[in-house]
A and B are shown apart, each in its own frame.
Chain A
Amino acid sequence: MFPKPIEKQPRAAQITYQAMLPLALLLWLGPLLAVALFSVKPAADFTNANYWGLPSSFEGAFNYGQVFFNSDMPRYLLNSFMITIPTVIGAVALSCMTGFALGIYKFKSNLWIFFMFVAGNFVPFQILMVPVRDLTLELGLYNTKTGLVLFHIAFQTGFCTLFMRNFIRALPFELIEAARVEGISEWRIFWYVVLPLMKPAIAALSVLIFTFIWNDYFWAVVLTQGAESQPVTAGITSFNAQFRAAYQLMSAGSIVAALPPVAMFFLMQKHFIAGLTLGAVK
Chain B
Amino acid sequence: MTVAADIPEQESWFHRNQQRIAPWLFLAPGLLFFMVYVIIPVFQSFNLSLYEWDGLGAAEYVGFRNYEDLYWEWVDRDAFFISLKNNLIWLILYLLAIPAGLFIALFLNQTVWGIRLYKSLFFFPFVISQVVVGLVFTWFYDPTFGLLNEFLGFLGLGPLNVLGDERFVTYGIIFAGLWPQTAYCMILYLTGLNAVDPEQIEAGRLDGAKGWRMLWHIILPQLRPATFIAFVVTIIGALRSFDLISIMTQGGPFGSSRVLAYYMFEVALSEYGFRMGYGAAIAVILFLIMLCFIAYFLWSMYREEKGH
Contacts and interface: CB of A to CB of B under 8 A. Distances in A.
A161 B229 CA distance: 17
A247 B136 CA distance: 11
A70 interface: no
A277 B188 contact: yes
B261 interface: yes
Nearest to B110: A6
A215 B131 contact: yes
A78 interface: no
Nearest to B191: A277
Contact of A211 (B127, B191, B265): B127
A237 B54 CA distance: 26
A51 B140 CA distance: 12
A236 B135 contact: yes
Contacts of A255: 132
Given A107-B23, A118-B298, A154-B34, A34 B129 contact: no
Contacts of A153: 33
Which residue, A131, A222, A258, A276, has most C-beta atoms of chain B within 10 A?
A: A131
A61 interface: no
Contacts of B297: 118, 122
Q: How large is the interface on A (under 10, 10 to 19, 20 to 34, 35 or more residues)?
A: 35 or more
Contacts of A236: 131-132, 135
B265 A129 contact: yes
Interface stretch (B60-68, B115-123, B161-169): B115-123
Contact of A32 (B38, B136, B184, B276): B136
A177 to B, nearest CB: 11
B171 to A, nearest CB: 16
A233 B242 CA distance: 13
Nearest to B189: A280
A29 interface: yes
A157 B111 CA distance: 38
B33 A128 contact: no
A233 B135 CA distance: 11
B283 A124 contact: yes
B18 interface: yes
A119 interface: yes
Interface in B133-157: 135-137, 139-140, 145, 147, 150
A110 B110 CA distance: 43
B284 interface: yes
Contacts of B34: 116-117, 120, 154, 157-158
A4 B26 CA distance: 49
29 contacts: A1-B198, A2-B109, A3-B109, A18-B112, A25-B122, A28-B125, A97-B30, A101-B26, A102-B23, A107-B23, A115-B302, A122-B290, A125-B261, A126-B261, A126-B282, A127-B41, A127-B42, A127-B284, A133-B269, A157-B33, A158-B34, A217-B130, A217-B247, A255-B132, A277-B226, A279-B229, A280-B188, A280-B191, A280-B226
Interface of A: 1-7, 17-18, 21, 24-25, 28-32, 34-35, 38, 49, 51-52, 94-95, 97-98, 100-102, 104-105, 107, 110-111, 113, 115-120, 122-133, 135, 150-151, 153-155, 157-158, 161, 183-188, 190, 211, 214-215, 217-218, 221-222, 233, 236-237, 240, 247, 250-251, 254-255, 257-258, 261-262, 264-266, 269, 273, 276-277, 279-282
Q: Which are the 4 A-B pairs with shortest beta-carbon distances?
A: A154-B37, A215-B129, A131-B41, A101-B26
